[in-house]
Chains A and B, each alone.
Chain A
Amino acid sequence: MSEWWTYGLRDLLLFSQRTYYRLYELYNLEWWPLQIVALALGIAVLALWRRGGDRAGRAIAAILALGWLWVAWAFHGQRYASINPAAGYFAWAFVVQALLLLWFGVVRSRLAPAPSVRMRQRAGLGLFLFALLIFPLIGPLLGRNWTQAELFGMAPDPTALATLGVLLAINLRHVGWLFPVPVAWCLVSGATLWAMDVPEFWIAPLLAVGSVLMQAWPRRPGK
């Protein structure tokens, strides 16, 4: 595109807020009651987290990878692509994240819950709980239909935020590769919501940037 730098985000927007959230509505209705399974998997992550150990870490990584793969195919590929030509690229990015989670978390077992900085642990747990339980309520509380709720494992934003929560809380061992895709998605999503005048556009980008800053916190286990 010529003179691309002169285009603002709103100039590039191809769909309305109404169409975007109607996408979630149709998606949720199509896959109901899979949302219950997704919620159960989210709760399972919490239980595994509490248990700790390598096997629990592998299982958490596998659940997260499953969520990323599902969102790549069912949301980006089957739904979002119908209104946004860039959704195909988003789908591939989500597949890459799933593969990274499988490689580092399942194959190499580097997501094992282990002592971490207490502040980061709490922040990670808080972010995961927020993504699992609070994030889906934001839209309905702002007046959108319940059927348009965005859920962990089903919708991209809470899946990305929940993943960042897990990454924050565990004692990461050289798995910085797992951060770029969820953080980038949160920034892209925030920009899209801003262009559509969605009031809560700032939430995902702010939390993503916050998680990166928290990750840079000095590592002193147990303190």
Chain B
Amino acid sequence: MNAPPNPTRRRLLASIAAAPLLGSAMAQAQPARPATRAIPSSGEAIPRVGLGSWITFNVGNDRAARDASTEVMRAFFQAGGRLIDSSPMYGSAQEVIGYGLARLGRPADLFAADKVWISDGAEGRAQMETSRRLWGIPRFDLMQVHNLLAWESHLPTLFAMKAAGQLRYVGITTSHGRRHDELAQIMARQPLDFVQLTYNLFDREAEQRLLPLALDRGIAVLVNRPFQQGALLDRLARRPLPPWAAEIECSSWAQYALKFVISHPAVTCAIPATTRVDHVRENVGAATGRLPDAAMRARMAAYVAGR
């Protein structure tokens, strides 16, 4: 396998994009756009908040719910979002995304991220082709191996597809803090563009090894479960938002939690899922305005830990 390109310059660009103060003067003159961070392997900048689809977009044949999902996607794109993530594991979510994209005129800004999730490596291409048809797009920007399932078989396929121009980035995912040892080994040895993992105010194991490794290896990081599927927000809702949260322009616990996640130097984009238009606006809004620096991040973590 080839080693990934030297990411030094790209990391510099990424760190510039991550500057805590992001065009506040501009923000007053026009609708704030979400901050972006560069994908280390290419330098392409993507907004730091994306849109997940686990559970929320699995609405089956319910036309009204599909239309509601379309409105969530519309609000997401209008707010400046780009990256939508799904998986063949998520029931009808891919089909619902395709339904929405068709009604939104297939937004040119879409950054389509999906996964291959099948134990037989030989069937990976067929599954990805089915996913592509469900989305109704010419190709995926990012294809990831879901939960490391048969990664030894799938990764060579994905790298070959990338070389052939059939997708732009290759990644691998885990969630709920599982199999970090194996993931670290893969990250150290494979020329991955992306890795997806769970990271939030309460699940911070990734800070120990995976996030530094991603930074070191020049691998972009997508963060799933930034709200622990809502459980994190339920816990935090019992407490008042600290007054100093205003210093980083937080108006809700959701923004507090998201700003914490996306301000980590290794994190490229968080992908919260929602069924609500106001929530998707709030989520993307977390990537506008001030972001916490290291000292503020420590303060945020200590506050929610009750210290």
Contacts and interface: CB of A to CB of B under 8 A. Distances in A.
Give chain B's interface secondary structure class: loop
B179 A83 contact: no
A174 B50 CA distance: 58
Nearest to A78: B61
A1 B149 CA distance: 7
B65 A22 contact: yes
B71 to A, nearest CB: 15
Interface in A1-40: 1-3, 6-7, 10-11, 13-16, 18-19, 22-23, 26
Given A16-B275, A83-B91, A83-B92, A3 B179 contact: yes
A23 B64 CA distance: 12
Contacts of A84: 91
Given A6-B178, A83-B92, A85-B91, A19 B65 contact: yes
B147 A1 contact: yes
A83 B178 contact: no
B149 A2 contact: yes
B176 A19 contact: no
Nearest to B119: A1
Interface string B38-72: 00000000000000001110111110010000000
Nearest to A23: B60
Nearest to B60: A82
Contacts of B176: 6-7, 11
A82 B93 CA distance: 10
B58 A14 contact: yes
Nearest to A12: B89
A79 B91 contact: no
Contact of B178 (A3, A15, A22): A3
B53 to A, nearest CB: 11
A91 to B, nearest CB: 15
Nearest to B93: A14
B303 interface: no
A214 B270 CA distance: 52
Contacts of A11: 176
Given A2-B147, A2-B148, A6-B178, A22 B62 contact: yes
B202 interface: no
A25 to B, nearest CB: 9
The interface centre, meaning the residue of A2, A13, A23, A79 with most chain B CB atoms within 10 A of its CB, is A2
Nearest to A8: B176
A15 B179 contact: no
Contact of A79 (B55, B58, B60): B60
A41 to B, nearest CB: 27
B235 to A, nearest CB: 15
Interface of B: 54-56, 58-62, 65, 89-92, 147-149, 176, 178-179, 229, 275
Closest 6 CB pairs of A and B: A82-B60, A83-B60, A14-B91, A15-B58, A83-B91, A82-B61
12 contacts: A10-B229, A11-B176, A14-B90, A15-B59, A15-B60, A16-B55, A19-B59, A22-B65, A23-B62, A79-B61, A82-B60, A85-B91
